[in-house]
Structure 1
Amino acid sequence: MEQQDRSYKDKKVITIGTVSELTGLTLRQIRYYEERKLIAPYRNERGTRKYSFNDIEILMDIADKREDGVQTTEILKEMRLKEKKRESEAAVKKKMLQGQLNAQFRYGRGKI
């Protein structure tokens, strides 16, 4: 997907320092969540991390859960389950749309 095709919330343009200021998390915490695979910033050719507004929302959610005592392994499990659910829902929608297109094509074809 090209950069201009994505929502502004998905564009990875925010530096780690700004993310720290916006979230109240330390640089170390942000790096730790990256190490734990909870967040995946873009890295430019010089290795500078760049985050999106969606990444910031994820980090805020992680921080809230950590304050409630939830371990990072549990957060990761939950994130993976949500992703699987989204993928499954997308697959079902795609099948439904394909079925509708097939039905319409066959219906229209029989009338010609």
Structure 2
Amino acid sequence: MEDESYKERKVITIGVVSELTGLTERQIRYYEDRKLIFPERSARGNRKYSFADVERLIDIANKREDGVTTKEIKQEMESKSRKEDRKIRKQMLRGQINARFGVQKD
């Protein structure tokens, strides 16, 4: 899981993200306005992105090139998030049931 925390750390400036993705800073801000990415802000108000954000932006750019709208991309992201939430809740419930009834995995 250490790899995940590394990918999620918001440490990259918008200029570097622009270089890495080939997107303009304006495009990156637009995707933020559309609620497709969520950078953090430094004490001075500068946007900070993670490697996961860079990957997401590349995915967004590829989908946009294929003609997918930002609205469709957002709907897809929300659908994936709901599916992940359901999966996590199901795993938690299974764990609680197993703990309650002493069921152990082999």
Specify if TM > 0.5. Answer: yes
CA distance in 1, matches of 2:64, 2:57: 10
- Structure 2: stretches of 5+ with no match in the other structure: none
CA RMSD of aligned residues (A): 1.4
CA distance in 1, matches of 2:83, 2:55: 19
Partner of 1:65: 63
How do 1:1-112 and structure 2 match up within 5 A?
7-104=5-102
When normalised by structure 2's length, the TM-score is 0.92
Q: How many residues align?
A: 101
Consecutive aligned runs of 4 or more in structure 1 exceeding 2 Å deviation = none
Determine helix, strand or coil for the equivalent of 1:7. Answer: helix
CA distance in 2, matches of 1:34, 1:7: 21
When normalised by structure 1's length, the TM-score is 0.87
Q: Deviations over 1:80-105 (max 9, x none)?
A: 00000000000000000001000118
- Structure 1: stretches of 5+ with no match in the other structure: 106-112
Quote the sequence identity (%).
56
Whose Rg is larger?
1
